[in-house]
Structure 1
Amino acid sequence: MSTAITMASMSTYAILGCGSVGHAVAEELEEEGKDVLIIDQDNGRVEALRDQDMDAYAADIRDESVSNEVADRDVILILSSDVDANEAAVRNIRQRGGDQFIVARASDPVSADDLADLGADVVINPSTVIADSALRALETGELEYKTGKLAEVIDGTDGKLTILTSPSPDPDSIASAVALQAIADARDVEADILYDGEIGIQENRAFVNLLGIDLVSREDVDIDDYDTLALVDHAEATEPIVDRAVDIYIDHAEPELEYEPRFEDIRPNIASTSTILTKYIQEFDISLSEQVATALLYGIRAETLDFKRDTTPADLTAAAYLYPFVNHDTLEQVESPSMSPETLDVLAEAIRNREVQGSHLVSNAGFVRDRDALAQAAQHLLNLEGITTTAVFAITEDTIYLAARSKDIRMNIGSVLEDAFGDIGEARGHSTDATVEIPLGIFTGIETSEENRDTLLQLTEEAVRRKLFDAMGVEASDSNGS
């Protein structure tokens, strides 16, 4: 069958079977000035079509002679409600050697497969089309409704709105907060973006600095001074982070805690919170600034690992919408920041102390000041030949921090860390990247001091490696190195 012809270049059409579906298509094509031939076995229907000045004649589309009648047509739409007749028509056209572009109507998945096997280029199922249309209408209506509700909460703010990101926020959380701030600003409501913890990883610091995002440390303000509180991207929080009512909650994952906000939008079927906020930007019809567009696109790309993790059509559609408004030079700078000397030291230590079992690499980076360097080291080590999973851990004061990355589709690294350390530490993350924090005293039973640093490191290294490799289903060796 031919695939070289495109619908845009086609000019002659044949419709075989002209019931309600075929008639609707015929009218649309006629309005566009297309040359349409209609064949249907119902004489009364054919006469009615002729009364509308349409080119129609009566014949059973099962007949082999029909394939000769449509031999000069570029596109053949076989739209009878009789699937057996449709299959016969497709078969006759292909057996005759016709290479026209064929669109055929099915009634269910089985008949759809049969029609495709017979040579139909495109198979449609009206019930599926109607269902898809209904779902799109429902989604549009729901978004309109939620947009109105979000507007009510924002507009009801007497003083200022505060938008609290996730602790030590990632790009998705920061970008979502930036977008919500833009929505509030468009409605003449002043909003601050607050964060707990640190903006640690170099890419995240570059993201904030290069885009000029104004973030306020929660330590510097009293959150009760704000009239309205919004939380974005807080699903991983396991303990209450505020002791006041939450007014707005938006996330792409189900939260661990119950917030009971006045407005809530949680969509587990979408990969990033930035995608959700992009939809609201569109629905509010806000003029996108370069800063907001660049932030949102980076948030989506970071959360989906550049569209390689859990990406949905909604994420791709949002990214396509944002793309023309983005400062791509800035985006490139954000994605390729310089490496700090400490990060380089951590990476060197992780390379030196690595242990590889199969395609799994575990390494100890010793004592570090910047725990965020562990995530960067784990990501860099994932580029080593033959490696599909990495885990880098280190001691910072009285806590063991571990960052893991995986590109093994058979492994959920978040679940691995939960299985290995969930009973003694706090694990969080996804199937491809995760972290865990373990109180050092619980893990070793020894308090940290300058005198026992080496002992602590040795005990930690042995225990962490063993637990990790056990959770991964591989056996750890007694020595380090690859």
Structure 2
Amino acid sequence: MSRMGEVAVGEAEELETVLEDTDSLAIVCHYQPDPDCLASAYALQWIAARNGVTNTDIFYQGHITHQEIRSFIGIFDISLQEIDDASLESYDIVAFVDHSISGTEVEIPPTVDADVVIDNVEPPGDPDASFVDTRPEYGSTAAILAEYVTNWDDDPPELVASALLFAIHRERLDDVRYPTRLDYRAALDLFPYADIDLIEEVYGSSLTPETLDAVGRAIHHRTMRGSVLVSSIGQTSDSGALPQAAEYLLRLEGIRTVLVMGVVNGDLWLSGRSFDPRIDIGMALNGAFSEFGTAGGHQDRAGGQLSLGIFADTDMDSPVINERLFQIVADRFFRTLALDED
């Protein structure tokens, strides 16, 4: 049993009250969900089943192509449905995990409201939900759910504990991505129930040859201003290569912020990562590119999918066209961060 405070215990009891007399629950992930979001949804699904909810489904939008995330879903046997194929109106309760407002990180029908919100980020507005648990002092939503699942007398399932522990490590602890004391405490509470071999199996997921080639292109095609790096992988059918390239480039000495661009199926995709506490990469991408499509995310990680605009009918295999597009994106991003060329 965890060392939860009175507030956390009260919230767990309140959530149980919300789930009482509920037959069906739709858990909605944010766009292109990461392990933090997926593990949190997985844990909430178990909590719902534990409280007698007979039908619980997890929904998502976007494309899941990142090899590690695909392995995570397969190893922990997480069942997902695309929101476009769902009738969310038919569920008694709709829950948002790792996000809080429709239209910012996920789009659901305007006739559907979230009844439950659990997130580690302060919402941009006031969620109209009957149960809201947002804790910005936590580095991951998985750490919040860890407190829920370790609060009851019965132990959490091994798969749920393992998924949450991996998510906390991947989100905050592995690269010291601004972890909090609460993240370390949650990881410690989960450890006795987790299967470390399963977690190591997710870490061991391999890169495809195409992803490896894309990372190589990103290494060679880059420009820097100060501690900020912008790179391009060119054309690819693997959108998951962008965040993997961004995470790799963030390891370069002196680099604190990375933006990787690439053309995927006729659209311009972006993936950003930042360790710089002065930069909110989600706000930066939103400010620089949202007028051309969707762009935004969290303080330390974000993404975007934009229209190619005037480049839509051009030959994207042309080095000249690719370089021109790269310069436009890089210059716009640098200007947003007030990094004008000397």
**If the length of structure 1 is used for normalisation, what is the TM-score?**
0.63
Q: Note if 1:231 corresponds to 2:96.
A: yes
**Deviation string, structure 1 residues 292-332 (Cα, Å, up to 9, x no partner):** 00111112122225272332222211110001211112111
**Structure 2 residue 66 is the aligned partner of structure 1 residue 186:** no
User: CA 1:255 to 1:453, structure 2 compared with 1: closer, same or farther past 3 Å?
Assistant: farther
Question: 2:77 matched to 1:212?
Answer: yes
Deviations 1:53-100 (Å, cap 9, x if unpaired)? xxxxxxxxxxxxxxxxxxxxxxxxxxxxxxxxxxxxxxxxxxxxxxxx
For the residues of structure 2 that align with 1:383 and 1:409, how far apart are their CA atoms? 16
Task: Indicate how the Cα distance of structure 1 residues 142 and 355 shifts in structure 2: closer, same or farther if over 3 A, else same.
Answer: closer
Which residue identity does 1:322 align to in structure 2? L
The residue matched to 2:117 in structure 1 has which SS?
strand
What secondary structure, in the 3-state scheme, does the structure 1 residue paired with 2:133 have? strand
Partner of 1:276: 144
8 Å contact 2:42–2:78 — kept in the other structure? yes
Give distance in 2, aligned partners of 1:202 and 1:163: 23
Judging changes above 3 Å, is the alpha-carbon distance between structure 1 residues 142 and 356 closer, same or farther for their aligned structure 2 residues? closer
* Alpha-carbon shift at residue 351 of structure 1 (Å): 1.9
Q: SS in structure 2 opposite 1:304? A: helix
**Structure 2 counterpart of 1:326, from 190, 194, 206:** 194
RMSD: 2.7
Give the C-alpha shift of residue 291 in structure 1.
0.3
The verdict on how the C-alpha distance between 1:300 and 1:449 changes in structure 2, with shifts beyond 3 A counting, is same
Which of 448, 472, 477 does residue 312 from structure 2 map onto? 448
Q: Which has the larger radius of gyration?
A: 1
- CA–CA distance in 1 between the matches of 2:186 and 2:236? 39
Query: What's the offset of the Cα at 1:142?
Result: 2.9
Which residue is equivalent to 1:176? 40
Deviation at 1:343, TM superposition (A): 0.8
Q: Which letter maps to 1:241?
A: I
- 302, 315, 327: which is aligned to 2:183? 315
| Whole-angstrom distance in 1 between the partners of 2:9 and 2:296 | 33
| 2:207 is equivalent to residue 339 of structure 1 | yes
Cα separation, partners in 2 of 1:235 and 1:348, compared to 1, 3 Å: same
1:25-424 alignment runs, 5 A limit: 140-157=5-22, 159-190=23-54, 191-235=56-100, 237-238=103-104, 240-242=107-109, 243-306=111-174, 308-424=176-292
Write the letter of the residue equivalent to 1:321. Answer: D
Query: Take 1:403 and 1:337, find their aligned partners in 2: how far apart are those partners?
Result: 20
Assess, with a 3 A threshold, how the Cα gap between structure 1 residues 144 and 382 changes in structure 2: closer, same or farther: closer
Distance 1:409 1:258 in 2: 25
In structure 2, the CA distance between the partners of 1:285 and 1:220, relative to structure 1 (3 Å rule), is farther
SS of corresponding position for 1:288:
coil
Structure 1 position 466, deviation (Å) = 1.5
Contact 2:64-2:240 at 8 Å conserved across structures: no
Shift of 1:386: 4.1
How has the CA–CA distance of structure 1 residues 411 and 244 changed in structure 2, closer, same or farther, with 3 Å as cutoff? closer
Q: Which runs of 5+ in 2 are unaligned?
A: none
* Structure 1 residues 419-453: Cα deviation after superposition (integer angstroms, max 9, x where no partner): 43355443323443332333222xxxx26236466
In the TM superposition, what is the alpha-carbon distance from 1:175 to its structure 2 partner?
Answer: 0.7
User: 1:358 Cα deviation (Å)?
Assistant: 4.3
Deviates more, 1:290-299 or 1:245-254: 245-254
User: Taking structure 1 as reference, are residues 451 and 408 closer, same or farther at Cα in structure 2, changes over 3 Å only?
Assistant: closer
**Which amino acid in structure 1 is aligned with residue 122 of structure 2?**
E
Alignment of 1:430-441 (within 5 A): 430-441=298-309
**Deviation larger for 167-176 or 306-315:** 306-315
Identity in percent = 36
Q: For the Cα contact (< 8 Å) 1:183–1:286, is it kept in 2?
A: no
CA distance in 2 between counterparts of 1:403 and 1:168 reads 12
After superposition, the Cα gap between the structure-2 partners of 1:476 and 1:371, relative to the gap in structure 1 and judged at 3 Å, is: farther
| 1:229/1:331 CA distance change after superposition, 3 Å | same
Code of the residue aligned with 2:46 in structure 1: it is A
